[in-house]
Structure 1
Amino acid sequence: MKRVRAPQYIPYKYIGVGVDRIDYTKGILERFRAIDRFLEKYPEYQNNFVFVEAGAPSRTRIPNYMKLNEEISKAVDKINWKYMRGYWKPIIYIERKLNLDRIFALYRTADACIVSPIQDGMNLVAKEFISANVDCTGVLVLSKFAGATEELEDAVIVNPYDVEGFADAIKDTLSMPPKEKRRRMKSLRENVKRNNVFKWLSDFICEVVKFVS
């Protein structure tokens, strides 16, 4: 049984987390398809794994975004009904914006954080998860389409469109030896510490000076 370090107890052996603004670019539906395939392909994780998705609604008056919200809710219901056993359901969907304390509590609890955009820049969720993972027990699963992959090479890199590969990556992440988890997370934490906002500003100024010269 997992020792949970967050204020709220989640009584499952394996815990995954996703924190997103509800948007087409975030790859949330692709993530759920991969979780569905993962549970189907590796049934031993059923009743042992739960994924907590914290989705902050955005642009709720725009029809396309209203439709996306509906599609996400339907996907969650479909997967939960497919695998539900007693009180267990594989996806817990929190459809609201959480404060930072609650988000970091989720990060500290999670065995894996899945960041799976189909198009994104320097994703802050990935770096928040790394910063929160002080005991180096979590693993970051990161889309190859996130700009952060250029820096965060020790994340488990996935193609969100490749359902089979994505599902296998989730399994590999959850079964990763503790020593390998620590090695990866220590490297990621060092990278985040090194490549902070001050370094970015310094690099930016240097590039501007070169351009002007």
Structure 2
Amino acid sequence: MDRAEPSKNIIRGFRAFDRLLEQYPQFQGKVKFIAFLVPTRTHLRPYQRYTEEVTQLIEAINKKYGTEEWHPIDFFYENNYIQAIAGMRLYDVLLVNAVIDGMNLVAKEGPTVNNRNGVLILSETIG
């Protein structure tokens, strides 16, 4: 759950998930990365390219590991507050890995509303 912008380091999170599935194949078909990304600065070409790169990486990972019954990544690209809150309530692991961030609200809101004893993985560069 984050804005689709380079400073949020989204691609690195997907690459880490790819590596997890590669190194631990027993998780294939059993885990799911649900990504809620909010469009931002969509009129700027660098942000458009970044979103394209994110989408291409998701498609590649889904193709590499997915089956007819299971896709490793579900991707939602919209500004949907209710959906974001639902995701925060139900996560098992919340990844917040911005390159640098002052006060990341997702890192505060997620654990506050989570109902499943979810784990927060937080970048060391977030205030």
Structural mapping, 1:16-27, within 5 Å: 19-27=1-9
Query: Does structure 1 residue 146 correspond to structure 2 residue 121?
Result: no
- Partner secondary structure for residue 25 of structure 1: helix
- Partner secondary structure for residue 49 of structure 1: coil
**What TM-score results when the alignment is normalised by the length of structure 1?**
0.58
- 1: CA distance, partners of 2:49 / 2:4: 11
Structural mapping, 1:117-128, within 5 Å: 117-128=98-109
- 2: CA distance, partners of 1:87 / 1:93: 16
Contact residue 7 and residue 100 of structure 2 kept, 8 A: yes
Q: Provide structure 1 residue ranges, at least 5 long, that are not aligned to the other structure.
A: 1-18, 148-213
- 2: CA distance, partners of 1:104 / 1:20: 12
- 2: CA distance, partners of 1:52 / 1:140: 15
Q: Provide structure 2 residue ranges, at least 5 long, that are not aligned to the other structure.
A: none
- Look up the match of 2:74: 92
- 2: CA distance, partners of 1:36 / 1:90: 9
- Partner secondary structure for residue 32 of structure 2: strand
Please say which structure displays the higher CA radius of gyration: 1
Matching residue's letter, 2:86: A
- 2: CA distance, partners of 1:103 / 1:68: 21
Query: Does structure 1 residue 112 correspond to structure 2 residue 96?
Result: no
How much does 1:85 deviate?
1.5
Segments of 4+ in structure 1 off by > 2 A? none
Provide the identity percentage.
38
2:42 to 55, 60, 64: 60
Per-residue CA distance 1:7-60 (angstroms, 9 max, x = gap): xxxxxxxxxxxx011111001000001000011011111000001101111111
Matching residue's letter, 1:138: G
- 1: CA distance, partners of 2:119 / 2:102: 20
Contact residue 5 and residue 40 of structure 2 kept, 8 A: yes
Matching residue's letter, 1:47: G
How much does 1:105 deviate?
1.2
How much does 1:104 deviate?
1.8
Contact residue 91 and residue 114 of structure 2 kept, 8 A: no
Report how many residues are paired.
127
How much does 1:134 deviate?
4.5
Structural mapping, 1:61-76, within 5 Å: 61-76=43-58
